[in-house]
Amino acid sequence: MDIVIIDNNDSFTRNLEHLIVVTTGARVTVRPVAELAGVDPARWDMVVISPGPGHPGEYPGYGRIIDSGVPVLGVCLGLQILNAHFGGETSRLPGCVHGKADVIDFAGRRFEVARYHSLHLSRVGQGLSVRAANADGVPMIVVHPERPLIGLQFHPESFLTADGGFFINHALAHCGLR
């Protein structure tokens, strides 16, 4: 399996690469967002849109990746980029949750997950479905039920997420890769 991570200039990208390699055994390539226009999604089994600073509106050019039919996993900013593509809105949280653990219920289990964000999905895009939210109702896992697209608001690669590999494997299964 060949996976490309588009790095949106985030310090977590190499940790995410490591988690994906350890969890899947995939060959993972990291490309900077500055090279996004040169990424041919058809060459990859999955495209991962990394976390990153700023607002999803500051990252144009992902539409052809998202609409390519190739599976896409978005993490944090990557989730927000997926949501914006489907007409959703991203707004500032009342507080900032950088480096804090939270709890979500998902797939019949309770997970501790790592949050590093000051923005959140204030309106979920058309056609997307929230699969997990925290106790305050902040969407934490969003999928497209009919397309191989999934986004995580939290960071599976953080040490604060107890079982990050579970979420990588779940993303692969959702996208039909496992």
R_g (Cα) of the chain, nearest Å: 14
| Catalytic hit among 157, 170, 174, 175 | 157
Are the CB atoms for 7 and 32 separated by under 8 Å?
A: yes
pLDDT score of 66 more than 90:
yes
- What tokens does 123 get? 């309106």
Q: Catalytic site residue 96?
A: no
pLDDT score of 165 more than 90:
yes
Task: Output the pLDDT for position 163.
Answer: 96
Task: Output the pLDDT for position 28.
Answer: 98
| Catalytic hit among 76, 85, 144, 170 | 76
Task: Output the pLDDT for position 178.
Answer: 87
Q: Catalytic site residue 117?
A: no
Encode pLDDT of 95-104 as tens digits: 889 999 999 9
Mean pLDDT of 137-146: 97
pLDDT band of residue 58 (cuts 50, 70, 90) is very high
Task: Output the pLDDT for position 96.
Answer: 84
* CATH class belonging to 2-175: alpha beta
Distance separating alpha carbons of residues 56 and 78, to the nearest angstrom: 8
| Catalytic hit among 117, 144, 155, 170 | 155
Encode pLDDT of 75-91 as tens digits: 999 999 999 999 999 99
Task: Output the pLDDT for position 59.
Answer: 97
Are the CB atoms for 154 and 115 separated by under 8 Å?
A: yes
Contacts of 151 (CB under 8 A, 6+ apart): 73, 74, 75, 78, 79, 80, 82, 83, 141, 142, 143
Q: Catalytic site residue 157?
A: yes
Distance separating alpha carbons of residues 88 and 143, to the nearest angstrom: 13
Q: Which of 111, 64, 63 is CA-nearest to residue 83?
A: 63
Of the chain, the percentage scoring pLDDT greater than 90 comes to 97
Domain boundaries defined on the chain = 2-175
Task: Output the pLDDT for position 95.
Answer: 82
